Amino acid sequence: MDVEHLVAGRGTILRISPWRGESSTVQVVAVGGPTPDDQTINEMMVHLADRGVTTVLTTALARHDQQPFEVAGFRPVEHLALLHRILDPAIPPAPVRAVHRVRRLGARHLAEALAVDGAAFTGSTDIWRFDTSAFAEACDATDVNRRRLVRRHGRTAGFALTGRTARIGFVQRLAVHPDHQRVGVGSALLADALAWLIRHGVRDVWVNTQPDNRPAQALYERHGFVPRDEGLAVLRSTAGR
């Protein structure tokens, strides 16, 4: 099954992507038109059943966006902590010691970056597993993205994927290898991301992470992010459950 776009309900456009290359499992996200309602989800589920899909995952949804999925039988499978920062050109990102050079993440370094991601999120559920397909989907999720990495001792130590759509920015992924944590790699990547967003007129920036990942949350809070109480959740529907 390839990525497809389905128009359902009152004209909602849904992007449906294979999950980690498994044709029987897909991830769905609304990319245009009205917010999904009960009719949208019902039509989507009938369409996917005809395609032989047995498991459907949402992207991370805010509480008010979860309701039509819950009515259709979706249940939370992963909760995420949500943080937000308002960007002001007059208030630059927190200063970072110029110890680490932030450089472009090109195709030749992607395998190394994904290996870093795997090491950084060892023990996490599949929701957090980032492979080539997930990386490509994240890049396509925003109008423009920035891919950067830091290398230490001849190896990729960490990377960041940042995106922006209109004046809203997203730190879509930030991962640092355990061997290179607590030496400023994450701060260097995050400061670079925020500076890029400010240069392009972004006003609001969002990031999510695991609720129990206190080191990551502390990093974001040091850079001006504020936790939001509502959080996010990924929902799942599985045939027969």
For the segment 160-171, what is each residue's pLDDT rounded down to a tens digit? 999 999 899 999
* Domain of residue 204, CATH code: 3.40.630.30
Most distant CA pair in the chain: distance in Å? 56
Task: Decide: helix, strand or coil at residue 67.
Answer: helix
User: How far is residue 43's CA from residue 32's CA, in Å, rounded to a whole number?
Assistant: 16
Same domain, 127 and 47: no
Tokens of 204: 């609001």
User: How far is residue 105's CA from residue 161's CA, in Å, rounded to a whole number?
Assistant: 9
Confidence of residue 123 (pLDDT cuts 50, 70, 90): confident
Same domain, 149 and 91: yes
Residue 95 has a pLDDT of: 65
- Region 15-42 average pLDDT: 90
User: How far is residue 217's CA from residue 224's CA, in Å, rounded to a whole number?
Assistant: 11
- What is this structure's pTM? 0.86
Q: How many structural domains does the chain have?
A: 2
Same domain, 33 and 104: no
Are the CB atoms for 33 and 7 separated by under 8 Å? yes
Range of the domain at 10: 4-80+232-238
Same domain, 110 and 179: yes
- Region 22-40 average pLDDT: 91
Q: Which helix (H) or strand (E) holds 118?
A: helix 110-120
Same domain, 51 and 116: no
- Region 192-196 average pLDDT: 94
Residue 51 CB neighbours (<10 A): 13
Same domain, 93 and 40: no
User: How far is residue 77's CA from residue 72's CA, in Å, rounded to a whole number?
Assistant: 15
Residue 219 pLDDT > 50:
yes
